[in-house]
Amino acid sequence: MPTVAGLMTNVGPPAVGQLDSGVATELSGPLRGLVSFVLVLVAGALVLRMRRNYVNESIDAISDSPAMAVFYGIAGYVIVGIVGLYGATTLARLSVAGGVFVRVAILISSAFVLVLTSFGFLVVGTLLTDIFGSRRPTYGLLIGAFLSAVSWVLLSPAGSIVSSLAIAAFGIGGSARIWIHSERTVETELGGR
């Protein structure tokens, strides 16, 4: 039966272009910051282009309960992690092409986490523009990408990951709260009376 540790081990020689887990720690701080800036900028621009209204909804939801935003954001990451891990372990049980499917599942999960994190930085940046003037998601995206880069330049890789996830969790917390409580209507709260 496959385990989490078993999924992370390398079975054979790495494929061409496959990243080693130590690549991020071997890069210099400014280079990590540049990579983070570009990734957040590209993924955030994709979100902004496709779902611009989600940014405003998330900011409004954060404004309703800012103290709980980080907890709901962490819950969102936990849900994504559980779904990704479940998918990867289920695919690992396939004997013929299990390894290929697991790598594809990990790649898709990683892309989803990147988009989710970029959305969080986009929301935080847009919230800052709202506090200091008018709400401008385009400038918010630049501010969010800058925040992600600064954490990678100034902190160690572990500290950067923790701070980036905390900032992004705050940003996605409003949307996660809306999604988690989406089934709660007046009828369900009153018990169908």
User: What is the rounded average pLDDT of the residues 2-9?
Assistant: 47
What does the pLDDT read at residue 18?
44
Contacts by 129-135, CB closer than 8 A, 24 or more apart: 130/59, 135/56, 135/59
Q: Are 43 and 118 in contact (CB under 8 A)?
A: yes
Alpha carbon 168 to its chain's center: 7
Say which residue, 25 or 68, is predicted with more confidence: 68
Quote the mean pLDDT of the chain.
79
Question: Percentage of residues in the chain with pLDDT exceeding 70?
Answer: 78
Separation in Å, CA 28 to CA 85, 104, 157, 160? 30, 28, 10, 13
Separation in Å, CA 13 to CA 17, 21, 110? 12, 14, 22
Residue pLDDT, tens place only, 47-102: 888 888 888 888 888 888 888 888 999 988 898 888 888 877 777 776 555 567 77
pTM of the model: 0.76
Q: Are 50 and 71 in contact (CB under 8 A)?
A: no
What does the pLDDT read at residue 38?
93
Task: Count Cβ atoms below 10 Å from residue 86 Cβ, excluding itself.
Answer: 11
Domain assignment of residue 13, yes or no? no
pLDDT at 40 exceeding the cut of 80? yes
Domain assignment of residue 61, yes or no? yes
Domain assignment of residue 147, yes or no? yes
Domain assignment of residue 187, yes or no? no
Domain assignment of residue 160, yes or no? yes
**How many domains, in total, are found in the chain?**
1
Q: Are 164 and 144 in contact (CB under 8 A)?
A: no
DSSP state of 77: H
Q: Which residues form the domain of 74?
A: 28-182
Residue pLDDT, tens place only, 151-172: 888 888 888 889 988 999 998 9
Q: Which of 62-66, 145-149, 187-191 has the lowest mean pLDDT?
A: 187-191
What is the spatial distance between Cα 84 and Cα 180, in angstroms, rounded to a whole number? 18
Domain assignment of residue 112, yes or no? yes
Q: Which of 5-9, 86-90, 126-130, 157-161 has the lowest mean pLDDT?
A: 5-9
With cut-offs at 50, 70 and 90, classify the pLDDT of residue 37. very high
Size of the chain, expressed as the number of residues it contains: 193
Separation in Å, CA 23 to CA 31, 52, 117? 11, 33, 20
Domain assignment of residue 17, yes or no? no
Domain assignment of residue 21, yes or no? no
